[in-house]
Chain A
């Protein structure tokens, strides 16, 4: 930092520089959030909304075992997806950084990871169905190989297929940040560790994992927020048998119970904030990035 940025003029120009983004965030995030918060404390009879304060929206959400089960299920999906994507993301990045080494090939392979994103969510989801269904390709292969006698029904329209779809959709959001922090590791420090006699495992646990913490944390935030905010994937891949918090919200909105939906939304926001805070507790991203 130059000494200029400490002067009053410098401070003014700094504010000016953040102003456009601040304005954008205020109008597109701040104002809607305030409206949702207000809405969650207002009353409704299913037809009209009354601007009168009440706790009843929150009470009905928190007292409903169905809704609480939905929250727990959504958290479960998020955590399972988080663990699997972290393992896959770390492994892929490790391969790209420490085995491929050639920068052009690395970037090329990373772009290959994005191929599924060239088409829409709907098509990507639907294309799993003929693969995993009872009469699907995977079951036929297993039967033809004689590994099973009856088709497996757990493959599709189950929690398994939901998690599979999440992993398929969101692994890239884990690969990219981990790859980014891993590729910044100076190869010399790995040699230095080897020079001290460290085994591959020691290098992994003592150097590579700690130095990828920032990437893992950023990727975790992406994955957790994406899973917590989903209702489409869970709906398609569970065949309507599972639901998420957002699905319940959508039902409320369809029935014009906006304040209840708003209360759920606020609870979800709080929950996601808690999870993100927990992640940031483990990894001080600001300090890590400053280093």
Chain B
């Protein structure tokens, strides 16, 4: 029998309980008002494109909410019991699945989060020990600078100061560009609904963490796979674990830098590419790729009319010259 491995750090508990530190500080408040102000500027009077330029410039200075939370999933601890799936289903009032959460036959195929499930666990072969499969939990990774949010044309996504990336179905018109943009294939869509289809994804149990609680999956895990806490603390914990157990872990914290860093991070004993983690992502936030393009927009808006207006003026000028020439010619002929 496999013994559930005990985590070196007390899991299932919120690591920083001092709530005073977690409250947004004054600096944050200024940050919010500036961002809000820019948002308003962007909206006023159709000068939307200039607004977008400023907003892009502003986000360069913003290095993320300082006290945001995240989770660290220790894939070496997970035993594939699916308690997290069950707890998530109950905590978020999701529809009951056809098969029970004890059913291990689901591991026959690779699953992904759907419109009915915020999170799923998949099973992989363990190259080190065939008898001990590796399990990988998937859910929204709550990126530092989420690609979904930068893709959304209606601003339906918010990166909250607490770290959760939230989606507002009241704003969404269903273009699904967020799903295209997400490098982790996290958002799902309920294609079956004709009138109220919406994006469905993990919310990091936002209501629970607002009240000082921890995500339901982290609480339900019997072996302490998921550690909830401040992202900055989680990175320290992960480093310490890897340093103390170099044989157990590969030397990589997935999510520390991927796509600009994620709120949900992973440590593993097996290379991440063996577990279907995308390993071809840039280290900078994906929005960086589009900044240059959006920055060129105001240039086009101001330079093009000047340039093409001038070409047109030159054309008219040439036509006038030809006309004058023609008239002179006529007059000369008349004189003759």
Check if A and B associate: no
- Residues in B lying within 8 Å of A, measured CB to CB: none
